Structures are given as C-alpha cells and as structure tokens.
Amino acid sequence: MRLQRFAAVATATALAFGLTACGSKDSDGGSDAGAGSKSFAAGSTMERLNKAQSIKVGTKVDQPGFGLKGLSGKPEGFDVEVAKIIVKELGIPTDKIEFVETPSKVREDAIVNGTVDFVVATYTINDERKKRVAFAGPYYEAGQNILVKADDAGITGPDSFKDGTKKVCSVTGSTPAENIKKSVKDVATQVVLFDTYDKCITALDGGQVNAVTTDNVILLGYIAKNQGKYKLAGDNFTKEPYGIGVKLEDKDFRTFINDTLEKSFQDGSWKKAWDDTAGKFGAELGAAPAIDRY
C-alpha cells in the first residue's frame, strides 16, 4: 500500500512538473497526491473527479486475469491495472478507487445512471452498445475461442458444431453465446447456457457438453488453473476489442482516456500491467491495438 501510494505521488508529481507550471506542493508525501497538482478544463469530468479525489470504477469480479475478487477482497487483474493507469493520470491515488462489481447485464445501466465513473470489465465494443454508452480504447483485443478436453480431437473450430451432434456451453446473454449460435445447426439442443463459466466447466467435466466457448483470455485462465486437462481448439475466430465504457455524451473524458491509453502503450506501463496479471497465464499480448477515436 505504502509503496503504491508513493508511486502514485511520484507519478503525479512528475507529471505535474512536466505538464503544468503550477508545481507540486505536496512534497511532504501526504495522501492528497494529485489534488491541485493537475489542472483540467473547468467543468470537465476530469476536473470534477480530481477535485473529489475519489472515483468509482466498474469491474468484473469473476474473470481470472482480468477482474477477479479473491480473498484479499479487492478485484485483481488486467482490467484493474488499466483502471489504475487512468486514475493515476487523473491525479487520484489508486487506493482511493472504489471498485464496483458490474456484471455484463448492468454495465450500461451503471454508466448511464452514474453508479460508476467508468467501466473496465472485459467490455467488448460493439455497435449495439454504442447506442447507450461511449467507448474509449480498445486497450486489448481478445478473440473468441473454444475450450475442449485435452484428448478431444473432434472439435477444431466453430465449424465442428455444424453437423448438429456436439454441444457447446457459454454464459447467458454474452457475446460469445450469440456468436456460437450462428455456427450450430440447432440452437435448442446444442447450446447450453449457464450464468457462470464455472458451471460450464463442470458440465464439460460431466460430459453434458463437449466444449465451452468464450473469449480466449478467459479460457486460458481455466487452462492455466488445470494443467493438462483442457486445451483450446484452433485459433480465435472473432475479434473482441475490449473498451472502456463512459457516458455517451462525455467526449472530453473519452478523449482523455484515449490519450492516457496511448501514453501507457508507449511508456511500458500497459505491458507491465499485462505481465503482472493475465500475462501469467501465457496469454499473448500482441501489439498495442489502434485506439478507435470514433
């Protein structure tokens, strides 16, 4: 904690010197790391958050490598680290972040209602969602893949479901579930949906389904947890750009986050965040995605 705070202070101070004329006054190492040390356009979301010195960030708490709430009681993962990069840039100490659980079905509502200031929660950017919220990023490009038992050679990709015999499991209402429905012969018999991926894995173990499908990074988490038991069947067959959800009309905040992300791609903090979290599962980071300033 102590060290983290120090890092936040140091970063904020360094940035303040670099960006603005009004230097840092809190060299005493106080907890108000960034208050006043950064200036943002009056009336902007950034200014409001910086003044308040507190922020609410929506994450998931059940995705290993991205946002997983363990016994420590705080979510950990790549999404959490990306959120910290942005919050630091706002001049707020990262221990002031309040993480709010935002499962898939409430993410839009949480942003629209202002329950959270932004959402970083393996949140795929798509046109449907762009109608209600705006996306900064992407900060990562995942892809949908298929998990099968290690000894299963019968499934090599989404086309393996076309003959109508094999069953696949995913999570209710998720993008991967919608995608795989296009590759099966009969949705009613071939697609099994639960509310969590854990149940899918149990169903796979029990032989009720032949495969589990979702974004590769989530599946890699399960492969890492159970050495040698499962494998991926083939390559990613979709592109899932993960974005950061903000309010639809808040263009300034979106631009700010985009700038911050681009900076983190360059200064190495983005890669470090990955190596400390999902990178441990052996997932590929690849090149930094191109920020989509739509």
Partner 1 sequence: MSVIIDRFDVFAGGFWLTLQICVLAAIGALVLGAVVAVLRISPVPPLRAVGTAYVTVFRNMPLTVVMFFAAFALPALGSNADFLRIPVLDSVFTRLGTDLPYFRFALIALVLYTAAFVCEALRSGVNAVPAGQAEAARSLGMTFTQNLWHVVLPQSWKASVVPLGSVIIAMIKNSALVGFFGVVGDLSQTADQLTSAEGLAFVPVAIGVSIGYLIMTVPLGALLDRIERRQAVAAR
- Which residues are at the interface with partner 1 (CB under 8 A)? 103-109, 112, 128-129, 131-132, 172-175, 177-178, 186-189, 191-195, 199, 202-203, 206-208
- 8 Å CB contact between 116 and 100: yes
Nearer to partner 1, 104 or 255 (CB): 104
User: CA 204 → CA 75, 79, 201, distances in Å?
Assistant: 27, 27, 5
Nearer to partner 1, 133 or 273 (CB): 133
Tokens of 94: 């990262």
CA distance 286 to 121: 20
Nearer to partner 1, 156 or 189 (CB): 189
Exposure b/e, 13-32, CB count within 10 A at least 16 = b:
bebbeeeeeeebebeeeeeb
Nearer to partner 1, 84 or 107 (CB): 107
Nearer to partner 1, 22 or 187 (CB): 187
Helices H / strands E in the chain, number of each = 11, 13
Find all residues with CB under 8 Å of 69, minimum gap 6, and list them: 61, 62, 75, 76, 101
CB of 135 to partner 1, least distance (A): 12
**Rounded to 5°, angle at Cα 57 from 97 and 271:** 85
User: CA 40 → CA 92, 199, 283, distances in Å?
Assistant: 13, 46, 37
CB of 128 to partner 1, least distance (A): 5
Nearer to partner 1, 31 or 189 (CB): 189
CA distance 228 to 224: 9
CB of 194 to partner 1, least distance (A): 6
CA distance 81 to 32: 21
